[in-house]
Amino acid sequence: MTKEDKKNAYLYCKFRDEQFALYDDYAKRNGMMMKTLLVVNVLFYAKDGMTQKEICQRTFQSKQTVNLIIKNLLAENYVTVTEVPENKRNKIVRMTNAGRAYCEKVVRHITWAEDTAMSMFTPEEQKHLIDLSRTFTKNLTSLVNQDTEEK
């Protein structure tokens, strides 16, 4: 591992942290926590709703976190939760009209910003960015989940 490797890892992670801070600030400016923004974002575009398990998978959040967010959204009448007839343990979460009204502007704006930022790259640059980010995430996951560091 070279000094350049370490510098580039630092820069890449700094940009990632800057993006997280940007989302966090955006959510707060719009009266919600970032994790709630992530949940309403996936629910907004899920026309038929989704299970809490699917929300966890899509947002990379824990079951407990998603459950708490759903309870809060339910208390505000922003979502409904209905049992799946085939499996009563699974429940479908759907946005209500009030929920869609609550988050539509916020969700559509962040989606527009993400799509527009990506469109500023050429198709080749987009593919390169996605491929490299996917590989970095795969490598990082493998290394973080190792028991020891290799010297």
Of all helices (H) and strands (E), which one includes residue 96?
none
pLDDT at position 84 is 79
pLDDT at position 151 is 61
Determine the average pLDDT of the residues in 16-43.
96
> Please, what is the average pLDDT of the chain?
93
DSSP state of 113: H
Question: Residue 79, SS3?
Answer: strand
79-84: strand order across its sheet = 50-51, 87-95, 79-84
CA end-to-end distance (rounded Å), the chain: 9
Q: Examine the pLDDT at 149 and tell me if it is beyond 80.
A: no
Cα–Cα distance for residue pair 62/122, rounded to 1 Å: 35
Determine the average pLDDT of the residues in 68-91.
90
Say what percent of the chain tops pLDDT 70.
Answer: 99
pLDDT digits (tens, 9 = 90+) for 98-123: 999 999 999 999 999 999 999 999 99
Q: Examine the pLDDT at 131 and tell me if it is beyond 90.
A: yes
pLDDT at position 126 is 97
pLDDT band per the 50, 70, 90 thresholds, residue 142:
very high
CB distance 70 to 35 below 8 Å: no
pLDDT band per the 50, 70, 90 thresholds, residue 137:
very high
CB distance 48 to 98 below 8 Å: no
